[in-house]
Amino acid sequence: MNGQLNPSQSFPARHRLDALCKLDAMATQAIDQAVSRAFELPAGREVLVEGEPIAHAMLLLCGWAARMKYFHDGRRQIVNFILPGDLLGHCQQDQPIAPSTVVALTKVRVCRAPDPSVSPTLASAYAMSRALDEAYLIAQAARLGQLSAYERLVDLFLELMERLELSGEAQNGRCSLPLTQVMIADALGMSSVHVSRTLGQVRQNKLLSFGAGELVLHDRLAMASALARRDVLCQ
Amino acid sequence: MNGQLNPSQSFPARHRLDALCKLDAMATQAIDQAVSRAFELPAGREVLVEGEPIAHAMLLLCGWAARMKYFHDGRRQIVNFILPGDLLGHCQQDQPIAPSTVVALTKVRVCRAPDPSVSPTLASAYAMSRALDEAYLIAQAARLGQLSAYERLVDLFLELMERLELSGEAQNGRCSLPLTQVMIADALGMSSVHVSRTLGQVRQNKLLSFGAGELVLHDRLAMASALARRDVLCQ
DNA sequence: CGCCAGCTTGAATCTACTCAAATCTTGTGG
DNA sequence: CCACAAGATTTGAGTAGATTCAAGCTGGCG
């Protein structure tokens, strides 16, 4: 009845956390137990609202979400994307307040994140996940501040592919990517019209193809070198 | 011999951490003890280097620093500023790797951050500090992605004043601010020429004055309303 | 006194935006 | 299965904001 509702719905989360820190039996068991109480939210639903307390850390199982900052005039900035297997709203505080709103971009399936105290490997994976979140946030700031529209686009696709490979959802530079050009525009701080035009250039240079919800990277070396001219981090 | 070396050099850090969570005697004692082993670094010195392990979490006592991302062609993005009383390099991991380089913008005085396990109030203040760091990082991404040059400038000055008030270094909308226009340009993703021009406009509108290392906000309401037209967060 | 870093200003250029219209997709109801 | 509506993408034309290059100005310091 639902393509995303299959017996291995815990796969991305387990794959990702296991890649961050080899999980022991207790950890995988805790994940499976948490997944058994998963629930679904429709596209557009707010998962966390800025300024409101966070009830529980969550684990995203299927679908995509995004952390947003909203503006009066209808503009919005996507601060980062949240992919299957990602944690959201996990803080150290007693009464954490969400620093940004999280919205489901597609229909999503989530569950409460299992308590990391059941396994040191799970706690370690959570710590790695937090560190990655921070690194991606920093990367986003650098992208928005310094890269051209063409570079921002290439850089974002490289990051997304890398992250999807971590959760086992991408192979051979190919993955499904349920983003519209408007969402990409909101993430990269450009107009959707300019995303369309710039995407045309990238396609013309045969770096990648992107359409019908699928992204295929044809030439990752060329993509990296399009950035390497500037970014010391991408050789 | 050194203007920054006065008996109250622990003041900003104590003021800030105490504002985040009312400190108990153990916490203030631990801070004073840590401050007694402070040391100094010249402007331009790297405090943390991206990709290298972080030996200890540090506490910035005097001077300003910045988290940077560097690019091949000499460009750099200042991801955020680190002000007196701020923590840097505090992670949950066993072997944390710095996700970005931290550079001293002025001569700075730092010490190892006291171990939060000595006091629950100190641990709580650290958690608050981390949460604020994340919020400022998110704010920076939204700024770079959505605001115009004029708005970015106003927004940044408001944030810096707010942060300096937290550490007790600003009163009545007045503070010292040791940033050059080039540094501001690196933080806001614009050219230094355009910072100069835009700053001229802001001054002409009598919102603030900035020069000789001092920032004075003349009309914070007008500054906020220059953003309120767009940003839902600034009434 | 001259140097150097930082700031300001002008002119030309370019990137990315807005507005607008046409086309293509997708989902829905008849 | 087709028709229609709504959303998404593409393309063109004109414009605005920001950049680069360049020249001059200012103030601190050896």
**pLDDT single digits (tens) A106-138:** 999 999 999 999 999 999 999 999 999 999 999
pTM value?
Answer: 0.92
CA–CA distance, A145 with B46 (Å, rounded to integer): 21
Distance between CA atoms of residues B74 and B96, nearest Å: 27
Q: Are strands B214-217 and B208-211 parallel, antiparallel or unpaired?
A: antiparallel
More confident residue, A118 or A230: A118
pLDDT greater at residue A81 or residue A2:
A81
Across the 235 residues of chain B, what is the mean pLDDT of every consecutive 10-residue run? 52 94 95 94 94 94 95 86 95 85 95 95 95 96 97 96 95 94 97 97 93 91 81 40
pLDDT at A28 over 90: yes
The DSSP code for A74 is S
Element (H, E) at B80: strand B76-82
Cα separation, B161 vs B171, in Å, equals: 9
- Label residue A33 left, alpha or beta by phi (over 0 means left) and psi (-120 to 50 means alpha): alpha
Q: In what order do the strands lie in the sheet with B87-88?
A: B39-41, B108-112, B58-62, B87-88
Query: A77 and B151 in contact (C-beta within 8 Å)?
Result: no
Which H, E and C letters describe B149-167, residue by residue? HHHHHHHHHHHHHHHHHHC
CA dihedral for B27, B31, B32, B37, sign (positive or negative): positive
Question: Best of B21, B77, B190 to disrupt the A interface by mutation (most A CBs within 10 Å)?
Answer: B77
DSSP state letter for B113: P
A75 three-state secondary structure: coil
Supply the DSSP symbol for A178: -
Residue A187 near residue A195 (C-beta atoms within 8 A): no
Contacting residues of A for B79, CB less than 8 Å apart: 138, 141-142
CA A178 to chain centre: 11
Across A17-31, average pLDDT? 95
Q: What share of chain B is helix, strand, coil (3-state, %, to 5)?
A: 40, 20, 35
Q: Does residue A233 register a pLDDT over 90?
A: no
Count of residues making up chain B? 235
How far is the C-alpha of B63 from the C-alpha of B178, rounded, in Å?
8
- Among A49, A76, A92, the strongest candidate for a mutation testing the B interface, having the largest count of B CBs within 10 A, is A92
Helices in chain B by DSSP H: which ranges? 11-20, 25-35, 120-146, 149-166, 181-188, 192-204, 220-228
Least confident span in A10-19, A146-155, B92-101: B92-101
Instruction: Report whether B63 contacts B84 (CB < 8 A).
Output: yes
- Judged by C1' against the alpha carbon of B75, the nearest nucleotide is D19
Residue contact A70–B99, C-beta within 8 A: no
Of B233, B123, B219, B224, whose CA–CA distance to B173 is shortest? Answer: B219
Q: Directed axis angle between helix B149-166 and helix B120-146, to 10°?
A: 170
Is residue B57 within 8 Å of residue B40, measured between CB atoms? Answer: no
Pair of tokens at residue B91 = 């992670």
Nearest nucleotide to A147, CA against C1' atoms? C15
Residue with CA nearest to D18's C1' atom: B194
* Rounded mean pLDDT, A153-167: 96
Distance from C-alpha of B149 to C-alpha of B157, rounded to nearest angstrom = 13
How many angstroms is C1' of D11 away from CA of A86?
Answer: 38
Residue B20, SS3 per DSSP: helix
In this prediction, residue A230 has a pLDDT band, given cuts at 50, 70 and 90, of low
pLDDT: which is higher, B59 or A8? B59
